[in-house]
Amino acid sequence: MRLDVGRSALLIVDVQNDFCPGGALGVPDGDAVVGPINRISRRFRFVAATQDWHPADHVSFAASWPGRRPQDRVESNGVEQILWPEHCVQGSAGAAFHPGLALEPVGLILRKGFHRALDSYSALFENDRRTPTGLDGWLRSLGVERLFLTGLATDYCVRYTALDAIKLGYRVAIVEDAVRGVDLPRGQVASVLGELRGLGVEFRRAAELED
């Protein structure tokens, strides 16, 4: 497909060891996104990669809430929070990008979720839906109008990034063979993809974007 490289950006969402098979929050088949991402990333002039970067006592960790377990829901400062196992702790091997991910094309690495009391699924806003991450400013300074989303996980961080991007006026495309989802409860990924299609999100295959 014809790609307007001056107005498009590739966003690589959370392709980190803890979200890949064997990690603390491994997404089934999550490492399968690496190949498609590597094949298309050099086609883009602007590439950003996000990285969950949690302090050891982060609000999203079940261990930070005595008596609570992963998948429990709590409220913190007026924001509903799903609890997870400890993952992507700052400086840990689990927080590192997957070793096969080509980082040479990446112009911006954006760390999110580093506020102890506030989680961040979206690459554009923290989970309070008000606090910006700074990515929008970077994209607008470059004249980007269209975002191609890849990474992990379809039904969480990719979904919320897409929703926020739409609200901010970006055209959004998901590279469907370069994303994978948690799919809990079962069927959640299909529901999310249907939701995004209904909002006008495009779906592309990596082969359409290769040289």
CATH number of the domain that 187 lies in?
3.40.50.850
pLDDT class for 184, splitting at 50, 70, 90?
A: confident
b/e sequence 24-34, b meaning 16+ C-beta within 10 Å:
bbbbeebbebb
Q: Is 47 among the domain residues?
A: yes
What's the DSSP call for residue 20? S
Whether 75 is in a domain gets the answer no
- 93 vs 87, 173, 177, CA distance in Å? 10, 30, 26
Per-residue confidence (pLDDT) for residue 141, from 0 to 100: 98
**Residue 26, domain extent:** 8-54+87-209
pLDDT at 1 over 90: no
43 in any annotated domain: yes
Answer for the pair 108, 45: CB distance below 8 angstroms, yes or no.
no
In a domain, 62, yes or no: no
Q: How far, rounded to the nearest angstrom, does the alpha carbon of residue 151 sit from its chain's CA centroid?
A: 6
Which is more confidently placed, 62 or 211? Answer: 62
Number of folded domains in the chain? 1
Residue 59 lies in a domain: no
Copy the structure tokens of residue 17.
Answer: 């060891």
Average pLDDT over residues 180-201: 95
Q: Which of 14, 18, 136, 155 is catalytic?
A: 14
State residue 84's pLDDT score: 96
| Cα radius of gyration rounded to whole Å, the chain | 16
pLDDT of 130 strictly over 80: yes
Mean pLDDT check: name the lowest of 12-26, 48-62, 69-83, 159-173: 69-83
Mean pLDDT of the chain: 96
Average pLDDT on 13-23 reads 98
15 found inside a domain: yes
**Is 167 known to be catalytic?**
no
Whether residue 65 is contained in a domain is answered as no
Among the listed residues 18, 88, 119, 157, the single catalytic one is 157
What contacts 72, CB < 8 A, 6 or more positions away?
A: 62, 65, 82, 83
pLDDT at 185: 85
Q: Is residue 91 part of a domain?
A: yes
Catalytic choice (20, 52, 88, 112): 112
Is the model's pLDDT at 20 over the cut of 80?
Answer: yes
Query: Residue 2 above 90 pLDDT?
Result: no
Is-above-0.85 flag for pTM? yes
Q: What element of type H or E holds 149?
A: strand 146-152
* β-pairing verdict for 46-52 and 108-112: parallel
pLDDT of residue 211: 67
